[in-house]
Structure 1
């Protein structure tokens, strides 16, 4: 079986899209489709049901993906162990990050780590805290950094960085006088966001019921929340790391919402049953050495 074709199949399986798989692998969509079709012809089984724009794996697809990922895991382990014979850290490292770590913490650290270990190739996968935690639980990531403490069996969390949440609005936006916090026009993050959960905990600690807030809209991602606030639609709660530049440029202003417990931590996540390859072990050590707690 051609490993390139198997890799194309696995990427389509993960992304549920031939075009997205092509973008990830830097191949054209027809090439991806041809690889999958060739596998189906070789096996004599359909691997995907094509339902319009939707791509759903068949039972045969589920089996091939499970075994295919094991094959690639064995290859990665062999590559890592061979690199140890050359006394170097090498191989592929798959890292996950929720919104703030993926955009404001991990990129600089990854660049410094790769400068130190040029034989390591890092793939960064992103999502909200719940999505990234699920990827760790499923064994799809070597490690991850997220914005809230998970409650998932089999995952080892470790505090790594501190953060502060800040309420921001457009400098042009003026709140009505004596307006209670629950009536402020809030731009809320999606369910599953670590930022949202930290904000709701701060509200509860301050004696406010998060369910009574007036939410004018819900957005997916920190950048979207800040853009909506810049446009004057309401008040967003975002990481101080994320909004610092916009505040200094005068695009946003900090709003005192009277909540005291707006601090949170970012956590390093590992699966307790996943074997750490040399590249993952080296990156883990590197992150601990650069922790800011």
Structure 2
């Protein structure tokens, strides 16, 4: 059945039978036969077909969602079985929220590839909410996230502590607490762990910014702050180069920095050797940079 689901998922993601057949190294009639057999098995038509495309109907959407989860579980099971007699190798799908994924994870991956070249990692960078959902649906092996998330039945391990500080352009002088409500605040999008920390900061310090600008990238926020567009609350991990280059300054406000935790999340206690090795490297090498 896993092969039928694999063919079905490929057809859906490629958008038509011919591209799916090419991807699967099958003939188009063979692909069509697999889909027809799967539809007979589940007792419902799953795809709306035209000469140009195929689209999921309501039943197909339900099957597609669960097929992705089933295939993820099957792949994970096979890796665990293979690992019983083999060294750390094979695929490892890693998810991370932006802060950790863009500023810390690359250094961990360099060490992983140096010590374990037979491990084949793929990395997905998204906000905390999206990574947690992918882990819950068995589409990622492991995730590193900040903030809180509502998905149940996830295994959570605290990994590291991060410091959140207010940053402004070094072109601006004499920034103090009086500027916090008057200045433009540049913030991340809802669902981001950084945005969650920013909202908590506003609540804790009873601040109601007159103007918010919402950007979907920490790098874009840093560039905008450097240019004098506004101020922001960012992770100390993300601003090390800018502090060295003296393009950003930390605003010293009583009660800061705010501390937040990063966690590792997984779905199952059964781990491949590749995942065990990666988690060990995470625990040993996740260090908090010193503030300037």
Place the TM-score, normalised by the shorter chain, in its bin. 0.7 to 0.9
Q: CA deviation at 1:56?
A: 5.8
* Counterpart for residue 242 of structure 2: 246
CA distance in 2, matches of 1:12, 1:220: 29
The corresponding residue for 1:170 is: 169
When residues 116 and 155 of structure 1 are mapped into structure 2, their CA distance, relative to the original with a 3 A threshold, is: same
SS of the residue aligned with 1:111? helix
RMSD between aligned residues: 3.7
**Bigger shift: 244-253 or 256-265?**
256-265
Q: SS at 1:182's partner residue?
A: coil
Aligned CA distance change for structure 1 residues 176 and 64 (closer, same or farther; 3 Å): closer
Aligned partner of 2:274 among 256, 271, 279: 279
Q: In 2 relative to 1, CA 148–10 (structure 1 residues): closer, same or farther, beyond 3 Å?
A: farther
TM-score, structure 1 normalization: 0.76
With over 3 angstroms needed to count, the CA separation of the structure-2 counterparts of 1:102 and 1:236, relative to structure 1, is same
8 and 171 in structure 1: CA distance in 2 versus 1, 3 angstrom threshold: farther
For 1:219 and 1:152, locate their aligned partners in 2 and report how far apart those are by CA, in whole Å.
25
Aligned length: 273
Q: Secondary structure at the match of 1:165?
A: strand
Q: Secondary structure at the match of 2:104?
A: helix
Is the CA contact (8 Å cut-off) linking 2:68 and 2:139 kept in structure 1? no
2:35 aligns with 43
Question: Which ranges of structure 1 fall in alignment gaps of 5 or more residues?
Answer: 19-29
CA deviation profile, 1:155-202 (whole Å, cap 9, x unmatched): 222221221112222222357888452222111111112112223323
Q: Which has the larger radius of gyration?
A: 2
Preserved contact between residue 113 and residue 286 of structure 1 (Cα < 8 Å): yes
Q: TM-score, normalised by structure 2?
A: 0.77
User: Structure 1, residues 127-172: CA drift from partner, whole Å, max 9, x if none?
Assistant: 1111112222222221111121334321222221221112222222
| 1:119–1:269 CA distance, 2 compared to 1 (3 A) | same
Q: Match of 1:283, SS?
A: helix
**Equivalent residue, structure 2, for 1:127:** 126
